[in-house]
Structure formats: structure tokens, C-alpha cells
Structure 1
Amino acid sequence: MSAQHPPSGEPVVDGPSDPELDPTASYALEPRYTARLTARVFATSGESVELRSPLDGAPLAHLPQSSDADVAEAFARARRAQQAWARTPLDERAALLLRLHDVVLDRQDEILDLIVRESGKARKHAFDEPLHIALTARYYARTAAGHLGPRRRRGVVPGLTRVDLHRVPKGVVGVISPWNYPFTMALCDGLPALLAGNAVVAKPDAQSMLTALLGAELLEQAGLPRDLWQVVAGPGPRVGAAIVEHADHVCFTGSTATGRIVARGCAERLIGCSLELGGKNPMLVLRDADPERAAEGAVRAAFSNAGQLCVSAERLFVADQVYDRFVDRFVARTEAMTLGATLDWDNDMGSLVSQRQLDTVTAHVEDAVAKGARVLTGGRARPDLAPYFFEPTVLEGVTPEMTCFGQETFGPVVSVYRFHDEADAVARANEGDYGLNASVYSRDGRRARALARQLRCGTVNVNEAFAATFASIDAPMGGMRQSGMGRRQGADGIHRYTEPQSVATQRVVRFAPMLGMSEEAHARVMTANLRLMKKLGRT
């Protein structure tokens, strides 16, 4: 029988508070631990799928699968719980996020172990995830009143028209999250939704389900009533479509092709959606850049999480004046990386997540080489390290007929291009349909910021790969063009989950003729009033 939610207050499954290794398989998990987590999936179908670790193929868990009826019931439970949650004082909701902040930091070793087991990424890249969730929880908790508290707006008649603006929760938010950042993507979009008074039904990717379920457990440990955060599981075309059918807002992170399907479904129901989609992100190294600093940033930009990062750089445009020095330093730093698929902190890059990702990366590199590109370093799979491991790879001479020129590789492959003129570099960086993230390296910050404004990307980092914008939670993050719509983080990241409601109170005067005045005379008085207000400089 597939796992179901137990009755409220009943323990899920007895088990250790931290994952324990199975001595018969190096990266397998202790069965009681996975049973405790998978019991949180709302599923009654009796079906399950097996999850294996990309580190060594060790079995991790059998994941119960949700039926369409399970999704409908999960939304029904969430909707009932949301009605009481919306009446909970805002400061109590904010306090829950502050407790979550501490819970995440207290249990970060467990979180890191599970992320690495499920995703294969290097531990130091896994650490970005609890860090980001702690930052997100603390930011929204501390700014709750500023984002959600009632606000006064200017009325049409000064002193006599009072307008109050309120933020009303939408209801139940559907969050469909990817495998590449299994902890942060499972939680970061849902936390502001909860703070705004909504409930959440989450569908994490199957590959990263255990990490997402651990996130749900941490929310409950922080004090969240369980029915407010439902987790369902199953193939995207079926379960994802069911979420679109029931949600009041959908938050999706994934491919542009799937994002279009989600957007069409939401448009049909006239509900909102926020989509973070694909990217073919550029990095510009200007003529006055420090080649050493730019090379260090390029390694992180291209190879963090083995390139499986929506904001990672896949195209490096380098000025003539520093090209040779930059490429020498970049290749040297790439070749000095420590590669490995283990739980420790020593690895600079870990594994790809699956055979599918390995096949895509291999095909892109082989296609480029067959059509004349040069491999400056890397370029091959490393099954000696892990089943899906691919070396960090730098290509030169990539041209438009090559697949990796315009298509997102989503792996540890980056192409280097020389440019002579900055206007040409900007034009080349803006080519294609994507516009998610970019970076600019220069010793002149003012000049770099001016150039950054010419790039058609939702986030641009100066003298940094991606962390400056990604970790600045007060700033909105998202894509332009085919890289998405809507924003996470900042005010945009929480207001998307609310409906603005204006309440206007009129005093003394009414918007109709008074004291027997004719409609024509009333119109003349109103016209004179408009002219007077303009002369007085009023809005």
C-alpha cells in the first residue's frame, strides 16, 4: 500500500533523526528513514517508482505515486486548512519562518547528505541550498509587515476620500519544482506563499523527492500545520496537469517547453502563474577586467552543480586585449578542479544527475567537435568517478550550426568567444530567445553597470558569476523573453500570491450633483476642480 498522510498528530514512522548508511551499499539510505519521508506523499494508487543515487546507483527509496483523485483530495485538504491559516495573525506566520531558519541551520548536515545522495552534486554546492532557504525565510519574516500590511493610498478628493489597500491571499498555490536544486527549489517559492496566507500543494521532481519531503518535515518541525503543505508525486504530464486544474496560482521551474504548457493551462482558467525557464547565459569579460578574477568567476559560473543550474554561464565573450591571458587562466583553473562523487567537502564538482543528462551533454560535445570546435580541456565522460560523471569542458570555435551554440546544454560545458567591440559583444550576448542571467567583469564598476543595462536578462551580476543576485533576496529574480515570466524574491516574490483589494471610504461629498445642482453644472464644477488640482501640482 502506498504511503498516505496519517491522522493528525500520529507519528509518521519511527526512525533515526539523521540518515544512516546501509553497510551493504555505500550510498543507500536506512529504510526506516526513507519510510518516514515517503509517508508524507499523499498517494493511494498503490504504485511506486524506484529512486537510485547518481553517486553509485545505490537504491534510495520506492516513491509512492499519486492518482488524480489524490491530487484533488490534497487540494481539498489544503483549501480547508488555508481558511484558518489566512486568519492567523501575520506576526505568527512570520515567527514560523524564523523558526524554520533555525531548524534548517540545525539540521544542515542531514540536508546536505540527502541532497548529495539524490543529486550527485558536490557538497559545497549542496550547501548553497540550506543557505538560500535560511536567507529566504529570514528575509520574508523580517519584511512581512512591509510587504503585506495594509497601506493607505491617495483618494480622489484630498481629505475626503480614504483608500486602504489590502493584500488578500489567493488560496492554494501549486509549486512544481525541479531536481537540480532539490531543497531550495522545493521550498523557496512556497515560503512567501505561506507567509501571505496561502496553502501549498507541491510536486517535486521524482529524482529529488526525498530532499523535498525532508523540507516538508522541517516545516512541520517549525510549527506549520501539516495540511497546509501537501506533497504529491507522479509524472509531470499527469500530476502537473492536475495541479494546474486545481491551483489558484502555479509556480513552475523547468524547461521552456513545459512552461508554455503550464502557461496555457493557467490562461484557460484565468489564474496567475510564475515561470522560471531555460537560459543560455552569457558572461562578458571586458578589456579592463582582471583575467585571474574573471577566470575564478568563470569556473563557478560554468561548473557549479556540474553546470546544472538555470543561471550558469554557457557562453563566455572575452575581449581581445585579455583573451589569451583569460583563457590560459580559465583552462588552468578548470584542470586544477578536484572531481569526485562523494559526501565529503573536497570535491570542486560532482556528477550529473542522470543518464539523460549525460546523454545530452555527450551529444552536444560530440556534435561540436565533429563540426570543428576545439576542446581546450575536458570533453569526455568519467564513469570511473560515477555512472553519469562528465568532465568540466571548455570549447573554442563553436559556430551557429552546432547544437550547443544556441540550445541549453545544462551541463559542465562552456564555449569561449573572442570579441573586438563591446557593442558587438552585447549584441551577441543578446542573441537567441533566452534572457535569464548574465555577468560582466571589469575593473570599472560604473562602466560595467552601464553595459549590464543593455543586456536583455532578468539578472546581471558585475564581477560575480550568479551568487550576488541569487542570494540578494530583496531583489527580484527571473527571466525575460523565453526564460520565463514573473519573479521570485523581493516584493514581487510575495505579491504574486496575493490579490490587491482596495477599500475606499467617502466622506461628506458624494460623486453626484448636490443641492439640486443640474448634471451640466456638476460637470462644470468637476472640470474646474480638475484644472485647479493640476495647477496646484496634485496627482
Structure 2
Amino acid sequence: MSSPTAAALIGNSRRDALVAQLSCTTTDTATVIAPFSGQPLHELPQSSIQDVQDAAATARLAQEAWKAAGFAHRRRVLLRAHDLLLERREELLDLLQTESGKTRGQAFEEIFQAASVTRYYALSARRVLATKRRRAGIPLLMTTRVSYSPKQLVGVVTPWNYPIALGTMDAVPALAAGSAVIQKIDNQGSLAMLATREAYLDAGVPAAVWPIVAGPRDTVGNAIIDSCDYLCFTGSTPTGTRVGERAAGRLIGASLELGGKNPLIVLGDANPAQAAEDAVYACFASMGQLCVSIERIYVHESIAEEFTREFAARVSALNQTAALDYSGDVGSLTSAAQLERVQAHVDDAIAHGATVLTGGVARPEIGPYFFAPTVLTDVTAAMQCFANETFGPVVAIATVATDTEAIDRANDTEFGLNASIFSGSVAHARRLADRLHAGSVNINEGYRGSFSSVDAPMGGMKKSGLGRRNGPEGILRFAQARTVSQSNGILQLPRTGAEFAVMAGLMVTLLSVLKALRRR
């Protein structure tokens, strides 16, 4: 199926209206390719460093009024945006599919996530950021409260693979806190994210409070870091490391969601057929181009043969298509670079002795970047795909003899983003979950349990990143905590040596009493 041009998909005037949202004064453009066809989709204007600086300065001015508008106003605006996202979902789904190559069902996950996170922060921001009383150092004599003020300008650098979901998961809590946001979108997901932002603007978010730019990482991306007060970045570990170093050089905070080599453990008490059916989606949603998708499976030897047979059969039966409807199980890789990386990992594995149970080949008869979902066994440390993130539709199955071996092999990685355990006993799985070195663990599900839990923090351990998005943690990163303590005038605290001589005994007694009462 041929992928439409942007003009055929939404019309020239609609495309131009979306692109007009960009903060851009240059004549430079970049060609965006439609993954389903490999043909040019549209030309996207590219911002300059000066565009970033100008947008940042304007956003800082606009933020004062946005903050002063208060939580109740921002709540109304964000709840209206929630509704507009759902009303406009069909256009958003068309744009997501056409720019990313994913199926419509997997594109719908992004709309669901964006609406969920918007509703969550609209309703929880005031409570999380409310001034709260804390225990004073000297009870009765002092009173202590903690208040929060929003960081003025938050930078958000959004990747191509989940532009709407990941874009809103960072931008929305910042807006709910009262911050302004300057966002760099990836060229490949530009129209989808611009159409998403438009819904928030139509709901009442001032355009100046949320400028969007596009352009090269080394210029526009660095300018974002140099212009903001806090940075959110999602991408590869090497790039994220450089981003973190640049942010640290300015003494600003950063949340970095980086790479993963995510394991799935199938315990001996699992139903092998059911586990195989559920594991397929965990590995091949969005063609594995998702930071939390599964690339390694460790299955107990007692059920390994049946699980592997069922798993390979279900992967072979997946319907791979470019249709802009719900008929597809898996879609296309997003770019030529992605296809090259996946093919290189598979070719290298085969050359070093891996066995291909299914897949392992490109599918140009469907489209230029299609690659068959691939299941490997006999993968060794000599292969590129053993420890390095493939970020594509390739999974390796290995057999283990014990739970401890499964945990040890799952943890034997420099990454620690997501992990999964399939078991017939939730209690058994929970005990093992506590031993996994990962920021999120899903039981009898691949990633969607934790990914959709917007009230719970999401992030990585080890080289999978720093900081957390979602939950109270996801909005507190955009707030400055301020502690205010006051003397209640009941008793003057000692100031001179003579006064300390009188009061020291009383203060020691106070400490002993507080301990006896188990008071913090």
C-alpha cells in the first residue's frame, strides 16, 4: 500500500497550519519520509539557534501570567485538552501511522497515554504542589512549611518513536505546575506532535507558553539545553549522556530516559501457551521501536520447548501491513537507518551461529522499511544483539534451569529500564520482581502495566537514565521546593553561651522524649 503525501492525507492548507506553529524564521527545510512508502511526505522548516533563544525569551515572559492564572484555571484548560485529544483522535492516528509506520492499534496507545496523563495532572497538580506542613526541628517552638514554585522554563526533547505519548508525558506536568515549555520535536513525528499541541492551544494554553522548534540535535538541541531551567530528554544512552553533561555544566536538573535491553522471564509455573501469546506483543509492538519493549526472553527449561514453539508460531502468524486501519498486528520500521541497524544485528547473529526460528528477513514486497518479526535462539556474547539494544523487531530466547539463573541473566546488562515476569503465581513473581535491577517490572504483561500507570514513576536504573516521569515525581521535578520556618514566640532559643548553658539540658531531654514517643 502506498503511503499518502501530507497533502493527500490532510490537505496542503491543514499541513501549512500545523507547520506554522513552529518557531522558525529560516528558509531551511528537512525532508520527512513516509515509512510505508519510502517517499517524501513533506518538507519541514528547521529552526535556528536564534529561533530557540527568541522563543525561550518570549516563553519566560508568558510564563508569569500562566503561573498567576492558578491551578483551577490550568485544570479547566487541561481537562478541555483531554476532550479535544479524544475528539480529534482519528486525524492524530492517521498522522502517527503515516509518520511512524506503526499500526493503528499501537498508535492508539499514544492517544490513550496522552489523554491519561493530561487528566491525571489536571486533577492532581494542586494537591501535589500544595504548601504542606512539616515537622519542625523543635516542636511547639517552631512551625515549618514547604511550598513549591514552578521552574520558569522547561526544555523537552522528544524522539520520533512515540512523539505524542512521550511529548505529553513531559510537557503536560510542566504546564500543570505553571511552567512554560520549549519543546524540540523530531522531524519524523512533527505533524503528529504539532496537531497534539494545537489541541492544547485550542483548549486555552497560550501559544507563547509552549513554543515548538525543530532542527539538528547539535545546534537546536543544544540551544534548548542552554535556554531552559530543567531538561527532559528521551533517546539513546550515548546522546543522553552528552545531554546530561551539558545540563550539569549549567547546574540545571535533567530527567533522561535512555536505552534498554529489556528482559522477560517465563517461570516454570507459567502457562506456556498463554505466556507465548502475551509475550508477542511485549516484543513487537511498534516493531520493537520502544524503549521499554522486550528484547530478551529467559524461559524455564521445564516449559521451554512448548513456550518456544507456541511463541514462534504466533510471531509467524502476525499480520504485517501498511493499512491505515485496525487490521494490522505489526507495521513498518520508521526509517532506512532503523532497517539497516536491524538487518545488521540479525546478519551478525546468523554469521556467529544463531538460529532463526522465524523472520530474519526484510519484506520489501510490503514496503521499503518492513522487516519480518524475528525470533532467535543460540544467541551468544559474540553477537551484537546479545548486549546491545537493537530497537527493532528482534528477540532472543534462552533457556534457564532456575529462578536465580533467570534473575542473574536478566540483570547482567548495563541497562535497567523495564523487565517482565510471567508466572502462574503473582506472589512468586512479586518476590522475584524485587530482585530485578529495573525501574519498572511488569507481571504477566510486557510493558503496558507500568507504562500506562501515570500515577506511578517511570524511569531507568544504571545506563537507562536519570530521574522519573509520571506520578507525583513527574511534576515535582519541575518545582522548586522552598522551606519556610517561623518562631512561634513561646520560648526564645539560646543565643549566648550562658543561654546555651541553661537550655542544653532541656534540649537533650526533648530529644530523649521525642525518641521515646517515636516522633520523627
TM-score of the superposed pair, with normalisation by structure 2: 0.97
Letter in 2 for 1:537: R
- What residue is the counterpart of 1:364 in the other structure? 345
- What residue is the counterpart of 2:437 in the other structure? 456
- What residue is the counterpart of 1:388 in the other structure? 369
CA contact under 8 A between 1:25 and 1:58: conserved in structure 2? no
Is the counterpart of residue 324 in structure 1 residue 305 in structure 2?
Answer: yes
- What residue is the counterpart of 1:31 in the other structure? 12
Pair 381,243 (structure 1): closer, same or farther in 2 beyond 3 Å: same
- What residue is the counterpart of 1:5 in the other structure? none
Is the counterpart of residue 74 in structure 1 residue 55 in structure 2?
Answer: yes
Structure 1 counterpart of 2:474, from 493, 511, 527? 493
Letter in 2 for 1:360: R
Is the counterpart of residue 127 in structure 1 residue 108 in structure 2?
Answer: yes
Structure 2 stretches of 5 or more lacking a match?
Answer: none
Query: Within 5 A, what are the aligned runs for 1:182-261?
Result: 182-261=163-242
Structure 1 counterpart of 2:288, from 307, 327, 330? 307
- What residue is the counterpart of 1:410 in the other structure? 391
Distance 1:210 1:527 in 2: 65
Distance 1:187 1:535 in 2: 48
Equivalent residue of 2:436, what SS? coil
How far 1:532 moved relative to its partner?
3.1
Distance 2:166 2:53 in 1: 23
Structure 2 counterpart of 1:273, from 240, 250, 254? 254
Pair 430,515 (structure 1): closer, same or farther in 2 beyond 3 Å: closer
Structure 1 stretches of 5 or more lacking a match?
Answer: 1-20
- Larger mean CA deviation between 517-526 and 195-204 belongs to 517-526
Letter in 2 for 1:100: A
Is the counterpart of residue 399 in structure 1 residue 375 in structure 2?
Answer: no
Distance 2:12 2:40 in 1: 10
How many pairs are equivalent? 519
* Misfit runs of 4+, over 6 Å: 21-27
Equivalent residue of 1:302, what SS? helix
Distance 1:26 1:37 in 2: 12
Letter in 1 for 2:354: A
Equivalent residue of 1:325, what SS? helix
Structure with the bigger RCO (C-alpha within 8 Å, sep 6+) is: 2
Is the counterpart of residue 54 in structure 1 residue 35 in structure 2?
Answer: yes
Letter in 2 for 1:81: A
- What residue is the counterpart of 1:15 in the other structure? none
CA contact under 8 A between 1:171 and 1:198: conserved in structure 2? yes
Distance 2:355 2:312 in 1: 13
Query: Within 5 A, what are the aligned runs for 1:159-170?
Result: 159-170=140-151
- Larger mean CA deviation between 353-362 and 34-43 belongs to 34-43
- Larger mean CA deviation between 58-67 and 219-228 belongs to 58-67
Q: Over the residues paired in the alignment, what is the CA RMSD in angstroms? A: 1.7
Structure 2 counterpart of 1:42, from 8, 23, 27? 23
Distance 1:107 1:251 in 2: 26
Letter in 1 for 2:395: V
How far 1:31 moved relative to its partner?
1.5
CA contact under 8 A between 1:177 and 1:185: conserved in structure 2? yes
Is the counterpart of residue 466 in structure 1 residue 447 in structure 2?
Answer: yes
Structure 2 counterpart of 1:147, from 89, 107, 128? 128
- What residue is the counterpart of 1:423 in the other structure? 404
**Identity in percent:** 46
Structure 2 counterpart of 1:375, from 350, 356, 361? 356
Structure 1 counterpart of 2:245, from 247, 253, 264? 264
Equivalent residue of 2:72, what SS? helix
Equivalent residue of 2:463, what SS? helix
Letter in 2 for 1:185: L
CA contact under 8 A between 1:34 and 1:60: conserved in structure 2? no
